[in-house]
Amino acid sequence: MEINTIYSKFLECSSVSTDTRRIDNNSLFVALKGENFDANTFAKDALNKGAKYIIIDNKEFYIDDRTILVNDSLKTLQELANFHRKALKLSIIGLTGSNGKTTTKELINVVLSKKYKTIATIGNLNNHIGVPLTLLRLTNETEIGIIEMGANHQKEIEFLCEIAEPDFGYISNFGKAHLEGFGGTEGVIKGKSEMYTFLNNNKKTVFVNLDDSIQKEKTLGLNRFTFSQNDKKSNVFISSVEANPMVNIKYNDVFIQSHLIGIYNANNISAAITIGKYFKIDDLAIKEAIENYIPENNRSQMIQKNGNEIIMDAYNANPSSMNAALINFFQLDKNPKIAILGDMFELGDESFEEHQKIVELVSNYSEVEVYFIGKHFYKTKKDSNHINFFEDFESFSNALKGKDFKNSLLLIKGSRGMALERTLDFI
């Protein structure tokens, strides 16, 4: 079936789903396959639950004229998303980076929604399935789409850009994330920069942090709109930044008091301010949007429990974000301090070295009590009066149950697979 015919059927539907556990009435169900499942087998179930049409790629599961049989359901989903994107008259902002992209995406969204009808990526649906699903949520009323793009190997950002065709782009940073898939730090830079290549080839605009030497160099000659804490010639000059622990920023005599913890969030806020200024958002509206934004989902959240202040940053971790979070944590005024840190995943051959660097970093702060959890940190185990190592969460939680934390400042951070938010049960 031709994509334009499939598109006409999509327009009859209320939404798109790839999961029969979440089927809206009159939706379009797309049967995808994974390593351990084949959603073609759930096609009939999707119709019974209210789907108007189903897209399948196995003719054995054809039911009736509500069935759209294609060669590859995933490829069709991606082609349908691109077709829809082209049919709409709106601007797309593409966003990627090693750290902070989800927080930055949410900040950009709250700022731009002060003036425009926006739709942004929900959560971290930022891969080859999530990006198409986000694009298919856009409507004729949408004025700006904010599309987060994640990647763990070369050519992935290039592919996502070809689907979303962004008019604008921002790369939050180039950090030590997914080193295994990218093939090291240089591979990360090359992979993320695929967004710059797409935007440049299509004569589009990039938003750039001039204080990031890699961003500055990689965007020379591109059509760019910039921000900086050091270069007063940038399009948006950030004149003041402080964090203790919440980030406060000043620009154009506008003072913003955020609910975001850590100086590392200053660039995320600055990017949202800059993109807001590009799209002619009033300064007071920018200030209101950022000051009213409260982080959630275990991303730089401040939680009060049993007299303790807890920085919950357990959604994810890599060497760059872990280092930044710790440096910020060590500089905060309150004592006593306790750091609960979990393994960092997808580091490949550099895993031992990167975990060891974090251990060496905290070794210099003897006043901070540190708990390392996970087999990667456990391999770096060393004798120390203030550092504790646990091979898994169970042994850590057993030890923690006998400890009484009072009036402490805690940092909890680790990769998603560590699920360190469980720690709250024992504090």
- In the chain, residues under CATH classification 3.90.190.20 are 301-426
- In the chain, residues under CATH classification 3.40.1390.10 are 3-74
Q: What's residue 178's pLDDT? A: 64
Helices (H), 11-57: 43-48
Residues 319-337: what's their mean pLDDT? 89
48-87: pLDDT as tens digits = 999 999 999 999 999 999 999 999 999 999 999 999 999 9
How far apart are the C-alpha atoms of 385 and 368, rounded to whole Å?
A: 10
Residues 402-412: what's their mean pLDDT? 87
How far apart are the C-alpha atoms of 326 and 82, rounded to whole Å?
A: 41
Q: Tell me which fold the domain 3-74 belongs to.
A: 3.40.1390
pTM of the model: 0.87
Q: What's residue 301's pLDDT? A: 84
Of residues 346 and 283, more confidently modeled: 283
Q: Is 356 left (phi over 0), alpha (psi -120 to 50) or beta?
A: alpha
| Confidence label for 37 from pLDDT (cuts 50, 70 and 90) | confident
78-110: pLDDT as tens digits = 999 999 999 998 999 999 998 888 899 999 999
Identity at 342, one-letter amino acid code: G
Q: Tell me which fold the domain 301-426 belongs to.
A: Protein-Tyrosine Phosphatase; Chain A (3.90.190)
**Tokens standing for residue 21:** 């556990």
How far apart are the C-alpha atoms of 159 and 138, rounded to whole Å?
A: 20
How far apart are the C-alpha atoms of 204 and 374, rounded to whole Å?
A: 44
- Min mean pLDDT across 223-227, 260-264, 277-281 is at 260-264
pLDDT at 27 over 70: yes
264-309: pLDDT as tens digits = 899 999 999 999 999 999 999 999 999 999 987 777 788 999 889 9
b/e 338-369 (16+ beta carbons within 10 angstroms → b): bbbbbbbbebeeebeebbeebbeebeebeebb
- In the chain, residues under CATH classification 3.40.1190.10 are 88-291
Look-up of token digits 């949007």: 289
105-143: pLDDT as tens digits = 999 999 999 999 999 999 879 999 999 999 999 999 999
Q: How far is CA 50 from CA 14, 55, 229, 337, in A?
A: 11, 14, 53, 53
| Confidence label for 222 from pLDDT (cuts 50, 70 and 90) | very high
Pick the CATH number of 88-291 from 3.30.1120.80, 3.40.1190.10, 3.40.50.300, 1.50.10.100: 3.40.1190.10
DSSP string covering 264-305: GGHHHHHHHHHHHHHTT--HHHHHHHHHT----TTSSEEEEE
